[in-house]
């Protein structure tokens, strides 16, 4: 018995399987794509398209797997038993976008010397012909945009319809007391408007000796306190350093719907609380 035990101990243990990563294209074979699996080894299939998680089905889910997790673009599983030499399990997935191929079938087979630990599943075409087709589509879209916007600049604005004959420009009084400026000075102010958009452009000076300032919060409202829609805010510079001046551009909605009345603009730095309150803003032409 001791001799038999010694002989058994001397037998070499099976060599460990090698984990491999590979890519698998469904364009070449949308069905019957084999994946080598082994007991106790995690295998992850990663897709370049979103899956329908509830549609993912695998044979022997309860009997053969200790872990099986489906997410939007991945399927991860760990077998709890080794497959028999002639055993095959089918794994079926369906894709969310409805494009072809709409589903893929993988055949799980027993691993030999290698086991698939990570498989990147490629569904979309990435060959030269497909890339050329995508490039042609992008060029067509670019040509359409160029035809609409021209070469940019004023001509492009006119062709795009953003600059129409209704455009008007109006400066407002920068000598008026700015209210609670707290180290800020209004150097200039002007409104640009058409029938569909308006921009209030103010040049703000951050006085010497003050902290850096940014118009992080913007309010535009009537003298009655009624708010006016603010679509976007842009600054010429992200921050105004002490002694530095820069433009602040406030875009509003359709001014044709805004009554002709004086507005007030408030620019506030949320970090420091320093604000610049500006009155005398008009979106409409003077009557």
Q: CA-CA distances (angstroms) from residue 149 to 127, 155, 167, 251, 259?
A: 33, 8, 18, 20, 31
Of all helices (H) and strands (E), which one includes residue 249? strand 245-252
CATH 3.40.50.150 is held by the domain 168-281? no
What is the arithmetic mean of pLDDT over 67-88?
92
What is the arithmetic mean of pLDDT over 186-198?
87
pLDDT, tens only, 112-142: 889 999 999 888 765 555 556 656 666 665 5
By the 10 Å C-beta count (0-12 exposed, 13-18 middle, 19+ buried), 228 is classed as buried
pLDDT, tens only, 149-165: 555 566 666 666 677 77
Length, in residues, of the chain: 287
Is the pTM for the entire model greater than 0.85? no
Q: Which are the contacts of 259, defined by CB distance < 8 A and separation ≥ 6?
A: 284
CA nearest neighbour of 19 among 124, 116, 94, 103: 116
What is the arithmetic mean of pLDDT over 71-84?
94
Residue-level pLDDT at 151: 53
- Is the separation of the CB atoms in 195 and 256 below 8 Å? yes
By the 10 Å C-beta count (0-12 exposed, 13-18 middle, 19+ buried), 235 is classed as middle
pLDDT at 146 over 80: no
pLDDT, tens only, 217-253: 888 888 888 888 888 888 888 889 999 999 999 988 7
Encoding tokens for residue 89?
A: 């399990």
Q: Which fold has domain 18-122?
A: Immunoglobulin-like (2.60.40)
Residue-level pLDDT at 63: 93
């Amino acid at each position: 018995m001791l001799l038999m035990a010694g002989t058994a101990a001397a037998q070499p243990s099976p060599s460990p399987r090698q984990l491999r990563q590979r890519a698998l294209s469904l364009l070449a074979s949308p069905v019957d794509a084999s994946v080598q699996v082994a007991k106790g080894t995690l295998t992850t299939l990663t897709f370049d398209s979103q899956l329908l998680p509830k549609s993912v089905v695998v044979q022997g889910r309860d009997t053969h797997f200790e872990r099986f997790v489906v997410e939007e673009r991945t399927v991860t599983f760990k077998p709890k038993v080794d497959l028999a030499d002639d055993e095959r399990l089918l794994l079926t997935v369906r894709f969310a976008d409805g494009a072809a191929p709409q589903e893929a079938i993988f055949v799980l087979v027993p691993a030999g010397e290698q086991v698939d630990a990570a498989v990147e599943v490629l569904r979309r075409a990435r060959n030269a012909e497909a890339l050329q087709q995508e490039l042609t589509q992008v060029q067509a879209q670019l040509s359409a945009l160029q035809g609409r916007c021209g070469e940019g600049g004023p001509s492009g604005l006119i062709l795009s319809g953003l600059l129409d004959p209704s455009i008007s420009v109006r400066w407002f009084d920068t000598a008026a007391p700015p209210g609670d400026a707290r180290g800020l000075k209004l150097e200039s102010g002007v409104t640009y408007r058409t029938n569909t958009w308006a921009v209030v452009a103010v040049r703000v000076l951050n006085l010497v000796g003050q902290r850096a300032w940014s118009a992080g919060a913007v309010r535009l409202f009537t003298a009655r306190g009624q708010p006016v829609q603010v679509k976007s805010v842009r600054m010429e510079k992200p921050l105004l350093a002490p002694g530095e001046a820069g433009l602040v551009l406030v875009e509003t909605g359709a001014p044709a719907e805004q009554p002709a009345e004086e507005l007030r603009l408030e620019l506030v730095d949320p970090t420091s609380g320093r604000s610049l309150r500006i009155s005398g803003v008009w979106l409409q032409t003077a009557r």
